[in-house]
Amino acid sequence: MNKNALFELSYGVYVLSSWDEGRPVGCIANSAMQITSSPMTVAVSVNRKNHTHACIEDTGRFAVTVLKETTDPKLIGTFGFRSSKDTDKFSLFPYSVRGKLPVLDAGLAYMSCRVVAKWETATHTVFLGEVYDCDLIGKGAPMTYAYYHEVLKGKTSVNAPTYRAEREHKPQDRARYVCTVCGYEYDGDVPFEELPGDWKCPLCGVGKEKFEKR
Ligand SMILES: Cc1cc2nc3c(=O)[nH]c(=O)nc-3n(C[C@H](O)[C@H](O)[C@H](O)COP(=O)(O)O)c2cc1C
């Protein structure tokens, strides 16, 4: 069995959002898909360790915001590698309440959903949501999971349903420097050691000191 077969599945990159007692919360998800058109439903797979999971359970609602290719990578770093338990993610990026749910203004489109069914797996809950409001809010190309990985050099969080140790790395003639917060691997032309002291991870925004030599 060649598990790399699963890397050939295609996805988008989305923000799932909900409320925590009036506070907006959310996380990145690649697992969102339309299930039926009448009624209009979408399904998302959410790790039970994510704070957003508890908030979707409590409110019975979630919004899916479709991200654009031009999305600031720091938004993905913040929503995909930090928890709403201790970070007020929506205070860092502008949002509006649409369909009674917090939706990032940087999005291309959103769907506001009411949970109508759920299915428990070993690690994730699959929520089926009926769409009660949706609209286009921006212009541009939707970000695909492949674009996120290949162009932005983004990594997948351990809580994503698609997570597993990355494919084998090709041998390199210089040391690898990997962000311990989001997994971004530095691949710039300037050697890592020569980057200025105020250089920041382009994905999650932490400083050089959070990078590990491997
Ligand atoms: C590219 C990417 C895809 C992700 N996909 C999912 C997903 O489909 N489902 C999920 O539960 N978590 C997914 N995650 C992980 C969550 O976004 C992450 O655990 C987040 O920090 C949870 O935040 P929260 O505690 O505020 O909910 C993904 C992360 C990244 C970077």
* pLDDT tens for each residue of 15-63: 999 999 999 999 999 999 999 999 999 999 999 999 999 999 999 999 9
Query: Which residue, 76, 149, 153, is CA-closest to 107?
Result: 76
The torsion angles phi and psi of 77, rounded to 5 degrees, stand at -60, -40
The CA-CA-CA angle for residues 183, 189, 71, to 5°, reads 50
Residues in contact with 145: Cβ distance below 8 Å, sequence separation at least 6, in sequence order: 10, 11, 12, 13, 30, 162
* Distance from C-alpha of 112 to C-alpha of 130, rounded to nearest angstrom: 8
> 42 vs 164, 174, 186, 193, CA distance in Å?
25, 45, 36, 46
Report pLDDT for 165: 53
| Ligand 1 atom index nearest CA of 82 | 21
Instruction: Report the amino acid identity of residue 133.
Output: D
- Indicate if the pLDDT at residue 186 is higher than 60: yes
3 state SS of 126: strand
Q: How many CB atoms lie within 10 A of CB 9?
A: 9
Mutation probe of ligand 1 site: the residue of 20, 30, 163 with most atoms within 8 A of C-beta: 30
Other beta carbons less than 10 A from residue 211's beta carbon: 21
Residue bearing the CA closest to ligand 1, atom 8: 29
**Alpha-carbon gap, residue 64 to 44, rounded angstroms:** 9
* Residue whose CA lies nearest to ligand 1 atom number 13: 160
Domains of the chain: 10-150 (2.30.110.10), 174-214 (2.20.28.10)
Ligand 1 mean position to 174 CA, how many Å? 31
Say what the pLDDT of residue 164 is: 64
Residue corresponding to tokens 């409590």: 58
Q: What is the pLDDT of residue 169?
A: 44
pLDDT above 90 as % of the chain? 66
pLDDT in tens, 59-97: 999 999 999 999 998 899 999 999 999 999 999 999 999
**Ligand 1 binding pocket, CB closer than 6 Å:** 13, 25, 27-31, 45-47, 50-52, 80-85, 124, 148, 156-157, 159-161
Q: What is the pLDDT of residue 168?
A: 42
Cβ–Cβ under 8 Å, residues 90 and 102: yes
pLDDT value of position 206: 86
